[in-house]
Structure 1
Amino acid sequence: MVRPHWVASVVVSLLVSVSSVGALAFTQSREYNVHYVKVSLATTATMCAASLSVFLLLIGEQSDSAVYIFSVGAFSLCILVLMITYALVPMPLYIVVAICFSYSIVFEILSAVLIPTLTATVVAVRALLQLCVHLVGLHTRVMTEIGMRNTFFKVGQSLMVRRDLEVEKQLKEKMIHSVMPPKVADWLMATTTEEDDDSATPLEQRKPSTSPRPSQMIFRPFNMHRIENVSILFADIVGFTKMSSNKSAEQLVGLLNDLFGRFDYLCAKLGCEKISTLGDCYYCVSGCPEPRPDHARCCVEMGLGMIRAIGEFDEDTDESVNMRVGVHTGTVLCGIVGTKRFKFDVWSNDVSYANKMESTGKPGRVHISEVTHGFLVDHYHMEEGLPDLNRKTYFIRGRKVAQQMSSRHSWPHTIGSAETGKTIDTRKISCPSNQPGDIEEEEVAPMLPPAHRHSSLSTLNSSRKDSGIRSRQSSMQDTMLPQAKALRFNNNVPVYVSMWEVNIIKLLDMPTPLYAQRASGYCSSYTSVADTGRSSGSSLRGYSIFVDPALMLNESLSRLRHLRKQSDLQMIRCIQQDACTTDYFIRPPVNPVTLFFHDEQMERNYRHRLHHRDLAPTMASASFTTYFDIFVALGFYLAIMFACFVLFDTPLSWLLFCLFATCTHLCIFMLCIREILATRGHWVADCLAQIYRYCTEWYPWHVVGLVLVSLPIGSIFSNFTCAGVLSTPERTNAFCYVVFVSLLHFSNFTQLNFWLRSMLATCAGVVLALLVGLPACPCPLKDPARNVTQPMVISEHGVELPGVSFHRDSYSCNQSAIYEIVLHVVLNTVLVWLLNREFEISYRLSFHGSAMAARDEQRIQAMKNQADWLLHNIIPRHVAEQLKNTSKYSENHRDAGIIFASIVNFHEMYDESYEGGKEFLRVLNELVGDFDELLSKPVFRNVTKIKTIGSTFMAASGLNPKLRRENPHPFTHLYELMDFALTMQQVIENFNQNLLEFNFVIRIGYCYGDVTAGVIGTTKLYYDIWGDAVNIASRMDSYGVPGRIQVPEHCLQVLQEMYVFEPRGSMYIKGKDNMNVHLLVRKKDKVLYRILPSTHRTSLPATAAAEDKEKTPAAAQEPLEEQQQPQESTSVSCEKEEEEVPL
C-alpha cells in the first residue's frame, strides 16, 4: 500500500526537477546573461522551499522512530542545500549570505517546533554546527569568487599582454627596420637576447650580446655579407657651405632634415636602401641587402629625383644649391661593425669608387660609371664624361621614353604653425614600387602644391624659442605607425588634466593600450599639454590659478573611476573577442582525471610555488590561501570539539586525541603568525622560518594538510563508544550531525590534491556507515516488540531528556534507519568530491592564468628591454627620454669635447682578393668593439660615441646636461675624453700584440667648443652633432701625426692643467687658414680634478648650468663636412670643392 506522503514527495521532486531542467536550459540562451541573478534566485527559492516542505511530513506522524530518522535526514538535506547555494549558485555574495542564514534560521525554528525530541542543548549544538557549515560555505564561496575573478583577470591580462606583445613586436620590427634592413635586423635581434621567454633582466644589468659570451669564442658575433651587382649612389650638396654661412646651426639642422626627408621619401619609393649621411653628403644603395635586377635604374632614378627635389627645395627656401650625384655598380660588403651606436653600412673598393664618381661629377647631373652603364639597357640619353683610370664614365642627359610630368607632390613633412600650435600632416602615403618597370616620373619628382610653397620653413622662421630642430611630429610616427593618427589628442584639453591622465585617455582610445604606450614612448605621437600651452601663446601656470583645487580633485577622481571602468570593459571585450577563452574555462589545461597540468614544467612550477610569497600580497595569493585555510580549520576544529564535549562522554582516548590535535593546531597557527609578522619586518629570521618553509613544500604540506583536515573527524571517531553513542537515538542522531558536518571540512585546503581529500572523506563516510550499520555493538534488547520507557541522559553533565517510549530494534538495529544514514553519507560524500574537484580546477586555473600572464609580461618586458637597448644604441638615453615628451630634439652644448680617431693604415691591410675583404672587416669589428667596451666603464661615463665612419671612430663628451651637473669640475668631461683617447692608444697597442706581422696606427684629433646636437631623418633617425668645433676636431685628425693626439691651441687653457703638450707650430688647416696646433706628450702624474665651490662653478663661462638655459644656438655653426679618415682608406669620404667658411 502506498503511503500518502509518498505522492506529495514525488510531486515535489518532479516540480524541483522540472524547474532545475528549465533553469539549466535557460542558461544556454543569450537572455541568461542579463537575468542570471533572477534565475538563480528562483532556483534557490525553489530548492529551499522544497527542502523545507519535508516538515509537512511530520504533521500527524505518530512513529517516534520515523521522527528520529527524519531528524537526521532533514539536517543532512539542510547541509546539502546550504553548500550547493554557497558553492554553485551564481549570485552576489551578500544575497547568498542573506538567503543561507535566513534558510538556516527558518530550518532550525521548524525543527525545534515540529521535532519534539530536540532539547535546548541539542538545538544549541545544531546552531553551532550550522555556523560551522556557514563557515565552510563562506570560505568556499569567498575563495571560489577570488579564484574565478583572479583567473578571469589574469586570463584577460594575459590576452591583453599577448595582444600588446604582438603589437610591441610589430612596432619593434618597424623601428628596427627603419634603421637597418630586415635581414640584418633579424640577425641583430637574435643575438641581443638569448631567449625572450626567459629574459627578465633589467636593462641596466643587461650586457650587449654582441660581446663575446662563451669564453671559447675568439671573435665577437659578426654579420657581414658579400653581395654582387649592387649600385651605390653618392650625392653631395653643391653650394651648401655658402648657404650655411648666414644660418644658425638650428636652421641648418632644420634645412638638412627637410631636404634629407625628401631624399628618404624617394629612397622608400624607388627601392633604395639609405645607408647614412655624412654632413651634407647622402649615400644609398640598391640591390643590397636584397638583390633586385633593376638596381642600376633605381639608383639613376634616385639621382634624378634628388636633383628635382633640390630644385623644389630651392623654390621653397629661396636658396641656390644643387646636387652632384655619382653612381657606380659593383660588389660590396654590407653589415654592422661595432657594438654601440652601430648602423648598417657598406664597404668595398667599389664604394670608394662611387664616392669618386660623385666628387668628379657636375652639379645637376648624374655621373655613372661604365659598369652601371651596362645595366641600364638604353633607358637614358647619355654623354661621355672624362675617363677615369682608363674607365669610361657617362652623364645622364634624360630618359629615352617620354613620361608624363606631374604636378608637385606632397613631401613627407608637417607644416607647423606658431600661432595655433597645431600640426598639419601633408604626407600622402604610397607604397614603394618593387616592380622593375613601375618607376614613373611623378614618383621621381614629387612636388608641393603652390599654396604650400615656403611653408616647410614656417617653423624655422617663427619666433618660437623652444622649437628645437623643427616643430614636427616624430619622423617615425607615420613611417612606423599606420594608426598613429588614432593617437592624436584634441588640443582643447582642460589645463588641469595631468599628463599621465592624458596618457591614460589616449591608451583607452586605442584597441591595444601598449601600442599607444610604445608609440608615445618611441614615437612621441602627441605634444605635451605644457608644450601645447606654450605654442598657443597661453600660460599653463597662469591659467591654472583660476581652477578650484577641490573641483580638480573631485573631477580627477570621477575621471579615474570612469577610466577604471573603461579599462575593465576593454579587458572584457578582449576576452570576448578571443575564441580560445571559452575553451580555456570549459576545457582547462589539466588532466581530467588527475587534474595535473598537461605541461610538466607548469606542474613543477605549481608544486614549487604552492606557497610562494608574493611581492604584492593579495587575497588571491598562495600565502593568503594557506593562512585562510589554517584559520578556518582551527575554528572548525574548536567548534566540533566543543560539540563533542557537550553531546558525548569524554573517554580517555578522546582526551588524548584532543590534546594532540590542539597542540598540532597551535603549532601550525604560531608558525603562520610568525610568518605573517616576519613579512612585515617584526620578526627576525630563525629556525621557525626553516620549519615553515619545509612544512610548506609539496609533499610535507600534503602530510600536514591531511592531518589538519582529518582532525575534526578524528576527534569525533575517538569519542565513539557503543554505550555512549548507540545507546540512545538522540546520541546516534547527534553523532550523525557532527559527522555530516565534519565531512564538509574535507573541502578545505584546496592546495591539497583533491583525490587525497576526497578519498579521506569517503573513508570517513564508510566508517560512519560501518559503525552504525554493522552489528559491532549488539542490540541490548532481543525482543523487538518490547517497549522501553526510561529517562535518557545525553551526557554526563546532567542534561536530562524526558522519558520516551521507543522500539530499540526499530532504530538502532533497523535496516531502514541504516539505509537512510548510508544514503545521506553518499550524498554528502558526492558533494565533497564535486566541490573538491571544482575548487582544485579553479585554483589551478588561477595559478595557470597568473603564470601565463607573468610569462607574457616577462616576454614583453624582454622585448621592451631589447627595443630600448637598440634604441639607445641609435640615440643616447637622455635624448630618447626627451623625444618621448617633445617629439623633437635640438640642443646647444657649450664646451663639448670631440675626438676623431682614425686607423690610418687600415687600407694597407684591407685586401679584397682574400674572402672579398670580409675577414679584414672582422678585424676592424673586433677593434671597434674594444673601443666600444671602454664606454661601459664608469670612468668614461661622460663620453658618448657618435658614430664610426669607415675606420674612423668619432666620440664626444659633455652632451648630457645631467651628468655635467653631477661632475665635480666643469671640465671633467673634457679630461675624461682625453683619458679616453689615451686609453684608445693603449687598446691599439694591446690589439697589435695579437696581430701577425701588422700593427695598426691610430691618429687622433681633439677639440672642444660649442656644438649643436640633434636627431635628423624621417625614415631613419640619426643622432649627430654639428658645429665649428666638430670640423676642427676632424681637421686635427686629418692633419694630425700618426700615433699622436693633436689639439688646437685654444684647448691648452683647459687641458694643460692635467696634461703635458709640445707645440707643433703653425700649419695650414682647410677652412681655417693657419692654426697653431699642439701634440699631447703625456698626462701629468698624480693630478686630481680640482673641485670648485658651486658659486665658482656657476660663474665660469663653460658651465652645464648655462648650457641648460640655452636650448637654441646663439651663433651660426657649420655642420660637419669632412668626418672621415684619409682618402686612401677604403671608407667613404665626401670631398668639397668649396672652401669652408668659419662661422
Structure 2
Amino acid sequence: WDPCFDSHILEAQYKRSTFLQLRQRFQYALCYCVLASLLYCIYSASMVRPHWVASVVVSLLVAVSSMVLLVFTQSRHYNAHFVKVSLVTVAVLCAASLSVFAPIVQERSDDSAVHILSVGAFSLCILVLMIIYALLPMPLYLAVAVCSAYSIVFEILSALLIPTLTGTVVAVRVLLQLCVHLVGLHTRVMTEIGMRNTFFKVGQSLMVRRELEVEKQLKEKMIHSVMPPKVAEWLMTNAEDDDSSSEQPRKPSTSPRPSQMIFRPFNMHRIENVSILFADIVGFTQMSANKSAEHLVGLLNDLFGRFDYLCNKLGCEKISTLGDCYYCVSGCPEPRPDHARCCVEMGLAMIRAIAEFDEDTNESVNMRVGVHTGTVLCGIVGTKRFKFDVWSNDVSYANKMESTGRPGRVHVSDSSHAFLVDHYYMEEGPLDLNRKTYFIRGRKPTALDKAQQMASRHSWPHTIAAAETTKTIDTRKVSCPANQPGEIEEEEVAPMLPPVHRHSSLSTLNSSRKDSGIRSRQSSIQDTMRPQAKALRFNNNVPVFVSMWQVNIVKLLDTPTPLYAQRASGYCSSYTSVADTGRSSGSSLRGYSIFVDPALMLNESLSRLRHLRKQSDLQMIRCIQQDSCTMDYFIRPPVNPVTLFFNDPQMEKNYRHRLHHRDLAPTMASASFTTYFDIFVALGFYLIIMFACFVLFDTPMSWLLFCLFATSVHLCIFMLCIREILATRGHWVADCLAQIYRYCTEWYPWHVVGLVLVSFPIGAIFSNFTCAGVLSTPERTNAFCYVVFVSLLHFCNFTQLNFWLRSLLATCAGVVLALLIGLPACPCPLRAPARNVTHLEVISDLGVELPGVSFHRDSYSCNQSAIYEIVLHVVLNTILVWLLNREFEISYRLSFHGSAMAARDEQRIQSMKNQADWLLHNIIPRHVAEQLKNTSKYSENHRDAGIIFASIVNFHEMYDESYEGGKEYLRVLNELVGDFDELLSKPLFRNVTKIKTIGSTFMAASGLNPKLRRENPHPFTHLFELMDFAIAMQQVIENFNQNLLEFNFVIRIGYCFGDVTAGVIGTTKLYYDIWGDAVNTASRMDSHGVPGRIQIPEHCLQVLQELYVFESRGSIYIKGKNNMNVYLLVRKKDKVLYRILPSTQRPSLTTTTSDDKDKPAPTDEQAKGDEEEKKPKSEEELPV
C-alpha cells in the first residue's frame, strides 16, 4: 500500500526528483477546485434556489482556500509540509461536498429539491475521490484510507438523510463507489509505478551516459596506443557501419574479380617534412645470450616503457618495435615545424635513458640512433592486428642511418642537418651514397638552457609505478613551439607517469603495467580525468565507473540474483568496482571455506551484495544530481504540449511500434502488464455497470443485444490476455491466437479495440434508455445520472490510447446525457404512487387520457434547475477527465521515453565496448587480454609454437614513389594483406594468429593459445594448421596475381617451430610480440629462402614429413646460425589420417599415398597391434 524503492537512498532521491511534477499536479488540482467552486457559485446565485446564499459562501470558501494553498505551494516551506497541505485540502473538499446534505435535511419535504441535490452530491463525491487518488501528493495507503472513510461516511449520510433512496439504489451506489475506487486506485498505482520506472530509467540512462564519457576516454586512450587520433577517427567511422561484435570492424571484399575491382577501405596520407628516428640496442645479442626469454622480455619492457614516455613528452609518435629496434617519427600525422629537433632530442634522451638502464640493471648496452627527414606515407595496412605505420624510401634510408651510426651517438642525414644547424654542434660522418651525414656533438648555448629546462621537466620514471597511481587516461597533447625546441609547458601536460626515486628496483615493471588501460577496472578508470575526479569518486574512495572490458569478470553481475534483477529492471550493466572487491573477497573466502560456517559465508555474501547495491544506488544518485535537466524532465516532458506526441519523430515511431512488445524481464511497469491490467479493470467495471443497469432499469431488447455483443468481445479479449500470460510460462501455445493478439495490439487496431472497450459501459447505459424506463420516476432518473457520471470516469482507463480520443468520447457521452435529460424528447413523467407507475407510464406513452388522472409537467425531468445542475456536473466531470487523461498519458509516455533512452544508451555503450574490444583484440589476442584483466603483466612461454614469415620479395620492384607518392601501390599491398587476414577467420586456421606486418612481410604464429591447444585432437595440430595456412597464402597470391596487370607478386615463406616467449611490452603504446630462437630461425628461413617456396629447418622435418612432402635443399649458410640443413615444401600428402593421442605421446600417422611403398614391411607383432588398434573402441581417426 505504499509503493517505494527498497533502497531508502533511491527513495529519497526519487522524492526530490519528482517533487516538482507532484507539485505541478497538485497545483492543477487546486486550479480545478477554484474553477469548480466559481462555476458552482455562479450556478447557485443564478438559480436563486433556497439556501443559495449558503451554497455561494461555501463555494467561495473553497475557492479562497484553494487559492491560498496554491500560493503556498510556491513557498519553500511547502517542500517540508506537502503531505499536511494535502490533508488540509482533503479536509476542505470533503467538508464542502458533505455540506450539500445540510439543505437536504431542511428540505426533506420537497422531493424535487432532494432529488436535485442528491445527484449533485453524488457527482461531487466521485470528483473528490478522483482528485484525491490522482492529483494529491500523499502516500497511497493514506489516500486509500481517506477515500474509503469518505465514501463510507457519504453513503451513510445519503442513506439516512435522503428518504427517497431505496435499498436497491443504496446497494447500486455502493457498487458504483467501488467502481470509482477501482478506477482511481488503478490510475494511482499505474501512475506511481510509471513515475518510479521513469525515474529509474532516467537514472540508468544518466549512468550509462556518464559511463559513455568515461568509456570514450578509455577507448580513445586505447586507440591512441596504436595509432594517432586522426587515423583512429577514420578507422572508427568505418567500423561503426559493421557488426560491432565481430573481431573486425568491416567486412572486406573477397579477392577482386577481373570484371570488377572492389577495394577495401584504405586510409593513407602522404606527408612531407617528417623526421624518422630508428634506434637499435647495441650489445643486445650479448645481453640476451645468458638470459631466459621471459627475463629478456621484462628488460625490453622496462626499456621500451621509458622510450614510450619520452615519445609522449618530446612530441614524437611511436611507430613500432622490431625486436630490439625502436622507431618513431615526428611531424606525422600532424605536421609540426620542429620535427627534426624533436627526433634529435628523443635520440639524446634515449641514449641517456639507456645509460641509466645500464646502471639500474648492471648491463652494458648502448643505443645507436639514426635520424632522417623526408616524405612518408602513413596509415594502416590490413584488417587484423594492424597498426599505424609509415612507408617510403626515406623510411628505409632512416633505417640505414641507424645501421651506419655509432653507439651512443645520434646520426643525422643532410636533409635533417638543414633543420638542426642553428641548434646543435655537429661533426661530419661517413658519406652514404654521396650524401653527407653528421653526428650530434652537443647543443649550442642558445638551445642548451632551454634543453636543460626541458630535461628537468621531463624527468621520466625509472620504475613503472603501480597501476593504481596512473595519473590520466586521456591523450596528452604535447606542444613544442618552434622558438623553444622540445620545451613542454608544465601546465599543459600533466606527467603521465609519476616520478619515482632514481634507484628504485626495476622489477616492478613486470608486475605493474602502469598505463596499459587493460590492467584492471580500477587502474584504468578511477583516475580518469583529474577535473572529473570529484564527480567520479565517493568519499569511501570507491570508483564509480569501471572498464567495460571486464564486464563479465564478476559472476554476480552476469547472473544477477532475483533480488538484484528485480531492482535492475532488466538492466544489469551498473558496473562498479565494488564488484571486483566482492569477487576478490569471495576468492579469499573460498580458500578458507572448509573452516567457515556456511551461514556466516552466506551472511557475508549478502552483506557484500547489499554494499554493491548501495554503491550502485549512490552512483545513480550522483549522476542524477549532477544532471541539471533531470528535474525539468518530469515537468517539461519531451512531447508536444497539444498532441502529446514526442518531439522526436523517430521516438514517436518507436513508441507506436513497441507499445505492446513483451519485455524480456516483465515488471508492473512493462507495457504488456499495463495492457492486461487495463483490460481486467475494464472487464470488472463493465460487469458492475451491467449489473447496475439490470437491477435499476428494465431490460429492453436493445440492451440485451448490446450486452451480449459487449460481453462476447470482453471475453474474447480476456481469453487472449490469459493465453498470452500462460504462453510466457510455456503452458499454452496457440499460434493463431498469438497472431490475433499481435494484430490487435498494433497501434491503430489497438486504438479501435481500446476505444470500444472503454465505451462499453456508457454504451450499455444508453442502450437501456427508454422514456418509460428511465424518466418515469425521479428515482430512476437519479440512478441513470449516477451510472453515467461514474461511467465518464472510465474514460480515464487505457492510458496507452491517445488522450484526445478518450476525452472526446467522454465529452460526447456527457453531451448525450444532457440532451437526453434536457430535450423534450420524452413526455414529462406522471406524479403517481410508485405501485401504479408502470401502468400509468404505458398509458402516458400511448397518449390515452384517463378520467381523473392528469400528467404533471413540474416533475424532475421537466425542472430547468435540475437540467442545469446536471449540465454543470457533466461539465465538471468532463474537465476532470480531460485533465487526468492528459496527465496519465504524459506519465506513460515519460516512462516509455526513459526506458527507450536507457536502452539506447545501453546499446551505444555496448557498441562502444564492442568496438573497444575489437580494437583491443587487434592489438592483443583475446586470451592475452583476458589474462591481463587479472594480472599486471603478460609473459608466457610456449613449447613447440609455430612461426612463419611470409615476404612479398618483389614488392619493391612494383613500388614507385613517382606515381601518387607510392600511395596506390600501398593500396594494392593493403588488398593483399587483407586477403591474408581473411584466411584467419576460417575455422580451419583457428590455431593461427597474426603477429604483425613488417613492410611487405607478414608474420604469423600458431600454438600461442593454451586453451585451444588443449582442445586440439593432436598435440601438433597447430603446426599442421600453420603449414596449411602458408599453403593457403600461396594460393591467395596466385588468385591475386590474376587481377594484376603485367605484374606477378612472388611470396617467400620461412617456417619454424620451437620454444618462444609471448608478451606485451610498452606502456603508452602496447605491443604484443613473441621472442625466441625459433622466431629468429623462422625469419632466417624467409630471408635465406627461395622465392615462391616454403622453407623449413631440419628439426621440423620429423614432425611435418608424415603429412607433407619435402625436398632437401642441402646445407646453406644462415646469418647467425652458420650452416643449416634446410628443406623446401613440395606438396601436402593426400588422404592422411592421424590418431588422436595424448599430448605426451608422439603422433602416430597413417597414410594411403604411394610415398609409403618404400617403407619396410611391419612385423607380425606390429601387424597384430595395428589390427587391434583398428577396432572402433580404441581408435578414432580424423582427416587432416
User: TM-score, normalised on structure 2?
Assistant: 0.83
The answer to whether the aligner puts 1:619 opposite 2:663 as a matched pair is no
Query: For 2:81, what is the secondary structure of its paired residue?
Result: helix
Equivalent position of 1:956 in the other structure? 1005
Whether the aligned pair in 1 keeps the contact of 2:329 and 2:343 (CA below 8 Å) is yes
Letter in 2 for 1:249: A
Work out the CA distance in 1 between the residues paired with 2:282 and 2:909. Answer: 47
Equivalent position of 2:937 in the other structure? 888
- Relative to structure 1, is the Cα distance of residues 64 and 139 closer, same or farther in structure 2, using a 3 angstrom cutoff? same
Give the number of aligned pairs.
1050
Q: Which moved more, 1:506-515 or 1:818-827?
A: 506-515
Equivalent position of 2:769 in the other structure? 720
Kindly provide the CA deviation profile for residues 209-236 of structure 1, in whole angstroms up to 9, marking residues without a partner as x.
Answer: 5557999762111111111111111100
- Relative to structure 1, is the Cα distance of residues 891 and 81 closer, same or farther in structure 2, using a 3 angstrom cutoff? same
Q: 2:250 aligns with which of 204, 208, 213?
A: 208
Kindly provide the CA deviation profile for residues 744-794 of structure 1, in whole angstroms up to 9, marking residues without a partner as x.
Answer: 11111122222221111111111111111111111245xxxxx74454779
Equivalent position of 1:85 in the other structure? 132
Letter in 2 for 1:82: L
- Relative to structure 1, is the Cα distance of residues 354 and 214 closer, same or farther in structure 2, using a 3 angstrom cutoff? closer
Work out the CA distance in 1 between the residues paired with 2:499 and 2:905. Answer: 51
Whether the aligned pair in 2 keeps the contact of 1:416 and 1:458 (CA below 8 Å) is no
The answer to whether the aligner puts 1:42 opposite 2:88 as a matched pair is yes
Q: 1:336 aligns with which of 380, 395, 398?
A: 380
- Relative to structure 1, is the Cα distance of residues 708 and 399 closer, same or farther in structure 2, using a 3 angstrom cutoff? same
Equivalent position of 1:464 in the other structure? none
Kindly state the Cα deviation for residue 1057 of structure 1 after the two structures are TM-superposed.
2.0
- Relative to structure 1, is the Cα distance of residues 427 and 740 closer, same or farther in structure 2, using a 3 angstrom cutoff? closer
Q: 1:359 aligns with which of 399, 403, 410?
A: 403
Work out the CA distance in 1 between the residues paired with 2:1135 and 2:989. Answer: 18
Kindly state the Cα deviation for residue 553 of structure 1 after the two structures are TM-superposed.
2.4
Whether the aligned pair in 1 keeps the contact of 2:1064 and 2:1071 (CA below 8 Å) is yes
**Which aligned pairs between 1:126-145 and structure 2 lie closer than 5 A?**
126-145=173-192
Q: 1:120 aligns with which of 163, 167, 172?
A: 167
Whether the aligned pair in 2 keeps the contact of 1:1036 and 1:1048 (CA below 8 Å) is yes
Equivalent position of 1:669 in the other structure? 718
Q: 2:894 aligns with which of 824, 841, 845?
A: 845
Letter in 2 for 1:623: S
Q: Which moved more, 1:567-576 or 1:1060-1069?
A: 567-576
Kindly state the Cα deviation for residue 887 of structure 1 after the two structures are TM-superposed.
3.2
Equivalent position of 1:784 in the other structure? none
Letter in 2 for 1:102: A
Work out the CA distance in 2 between the residues paired with 1:602 and 1:415. Answer: 50
Work out the CA distance in 1 between the residues paired with 2:248 and 2:126. Answer: 59
The answer to whether the aligner puts 1:327 opposite 2:376 as a matched pair is no
Whether the aligned pair in 1 keeps the contact of 2:368 and 2:410 (CA below 8 Å) is yes
Equivalent position of 1:897 in the other structure? 946
Whether the aligned pair in 2 keeps the contact of 1:412 and 1:426 (CA below 8 Å) is no
Whether the aligned pair in 1 keeps the contact of 2:294 and 2:1061 (CA below 8 Å) is yes
Equivalent position of 1:66 in the other structure? 113
Work out the CA distance in 1 between the residues paired with 2:579 and 2:161. Answer: 78
Work out the CA distance in 2 between the residues paired with 1:524 and 1:138. Answer: 38
Kindly state the Cα deviation for residue 423 of structure 1 after the two structures are TM-superposed.
6.9
Query: For 1:919, what is the secondary structure of its paired residue?
Result: helix
Equivalent position of 2:288 in the other structure? 244
Work out the CA distance in 1 between the residues paired with 2:726 and 2:871. Answer: 46
RMSD of aligned Cα (Å): 3.5
- Relative to structure 1, is the Cα distance of residues 283 and 451 closer, same or farther in structure 2, using a 3 angstrom cutoff? closer
Work out the CA distance in 2 between the residues paired with 1:878 and 1:747. Answer: 58
Letter in 2 for 1:18: V
Q: 2:226 aligns with which of 179, 185, 195?
A: 179
Work out the CA distance in 2 between the residues paired with 1:506 and 1:1098. Answer: 55
Q: 1:680 aligns with which of 729, 735, 756?
A: 729
Whether the aligned pair in 2 keeps the contact of 1:86 and 1:141 (CA below 8 Å) is yes
Kindly state the Cα deviation for residue 1041 of structure 1 after the two structures are TM-superposed.
1.1
Letter in 2 for 1:105: I
**Which aligned pairs between 1:958-1107 and structure 2 lie closer than 5 A?**
958-1092=1007-1141, 1096-1098=1142-1144
Kindly provide the CA deviation profile for residues 898-950 of structure 1, in whole angstroms up to 9, marking residues without a partner as x.
Answer: 10001111111111112111111111111101000000111011100000001
Equivalent position of 1:859 in the other structure? 908
The answer to whether the aligner puts 1:109 opposite 2:156 as a matched pair is yes
The answer to whether the aligner puts 1:633 opposite 2:682 as a matched pair is yes
The answer to whether the aligner puts 1:32 opposite 2:78 as a matched pair is yes
Task: State percent identity of aligned pairs.
Answer: 82
The answer to whether the aligner puts 1:691 opposite 2:740 as a matched pair is yes
Q: Which moved more, 1:922-931 or 1:204-213?
A: 204-213
**Which aligned pairs between 1:570-969 and structure 2 lie closer than 5 A?**
570-781=619-830, 788-791=832-835, 809-969=858-1018
Q: 1:23 aligns with which of 66, 69, 78?
A: 69
Equivalent position of 1:1130 in the other structure? none
User: TM-score, normalised on structure 1?
Assistant: 0.86
Whether the aligned pair in 1 keeps the contact of 2:471 and 2:496 (CA below 8 Å) is no
Work out the CA distance in 2 between the residues paired with 1:581 and 1:524. Answer: 22
Structure 2 segments unaligned to the other structure (5+ residues): 1-44, 530-535, 555-574, 841-853, 1149-1184
Work out the CA distance in 2 between the residues paired with 1:505 and 1:932. Answer: 46
Kindly provide the CA deviation profile for residues 960-1018 of structure 1, in whole angstroms up to 9, marking residues without a partner as x.
Answer: 11111111111111110000000000011111111111111111111111111111111
Q: 1:291 aligns with which of 320, 335, 338?
A: 335
- Relative to structure 1, is the Cα distance of residues 208 and 483 closer, same or farther in structure 2, using a 3 angstrom cutoff? closer
Q: Which moved more, 1:371-380 or 1:549-558?
A: 549-558
Kindly provide the CA deviation profile for residues 143-169 of structure 1, in whole angstroms up to 9, marking residues without a partner as x.
Answer: 211222222222222232223223322
Query: For 1:455, what is the secondary structure of its paired residue?
Result: coil
Q: Which moved more, 1:694-703 or 1:1015-1024?
A: 694-703
Q: Which moved more, 1:52-61 or 1:234-243?
A: 52-61
Kindly provide the CA deviation profile for residues 707-737 of structure 1, in whole angstroms up to 9, marking residues without a partner as x.
Answer: 1111111111111111111111111111111
Equivalent position of 2:851 in the other structure? none
Kindly state the Cα deviation for residue 599 of structure 1 after the two structures are TM-superposed.
2.6
Which has the bigger relative contact order, CA under 8 A and spacing at least 6? 1
Letter in 1 for 2:599: A
Structure 1 segments unaligned to the other structure (5+ residues): 461-468, 489-502, 782-786, 797-804, 1103-1143
The answer to whether the aligner puts 1:13 opposite 2:54 as a matched pair is no
Whether the aligned pair in 2 keeps the contact of 1:879 and 1:889 (CA below 8 Å) is yes
The answer to whether the aligner puts 1:385 opposite 2:385 as a matched pair is no
- Relative to structure 1, is the Cα distance of residues 454 and 514 closer, same or farther in structure 2, using a 3 angstrom cutoff? closer
Equivalent position of 2:19 in the other structure? none
- Relative to structure 1, is the Cα distance of residues 924 and 507 closer, same or farther in structure 2, using a 3 angstrom cutoff? farther
Query: For 1:457, what is the secondary structure of its paired residue?
Result: coil
Query: For 1:661, what is the secondary structure of its paired residue?
Result: helix
Kindly state the Cα deviation for residue 511 of structure 1 after the two structures are TM-superposed.
5.5
Work out the CA distance in 2 between the residues paired with 1:346 and 1:428. Answer: 26
Q: Which moved more, 1:402-411 or 1:587-596?
A: 402-411
Kindly provide the CA deviation profile for residues 267-299 of structure 1, in whole angstroms up to 9, marking residues without a partner as x.
Answer: 111111111000110011111111111111111
- Relative to structure 1, is the Cα distance of residues 1012 and 172 closer, same or farther in structure 2, using a 3 angstrom cutoff? same
Kindly state the Cα deviation for residue 685 of structure 1 after the two structures are TM-superposed.
3.8
Letter in 2 for 1:25: V
Whether the aligned pair in 2 keeps the contact of 1:710 and 1:746 (CA below 8 Å) is yes
The answer to whether the aligner puts 1:475 opposite 2:516 as a matched pair is yes
Letter in 1 for 2:115: Y
Work out the CA distance in 2 between the residues paired with 1:903 and 1:575. Answer: 58
Query: For 2:733, what is the secondary structure of its paired residue?
Result: coil
Whether the aligned pair in 2 keeps the contact of 1:474 and 1:887 (CA below 8 Å) is no
Kindly state the Cα deviation for residue 1056 of structure 1 after the two structures are TM-superposed.
1.6
Whether the aligned pair in 1 keeps the contact of 2:947 and 2:1003 (CA below 8 Å) is yes
Work out the CA distance in 1 between the residues paired with 2:256 and 2:892. Answer: 42
Letter in 1 for 2:266: F
- Relative to structure 1, is the Cα distance of residues 857 and 567 closer, same or farther in structure 2, using a 3 angstrom cutoff? same
Work out the CA distance in 2 between the residues paired with 1:423 and 1:788. Answer: 95
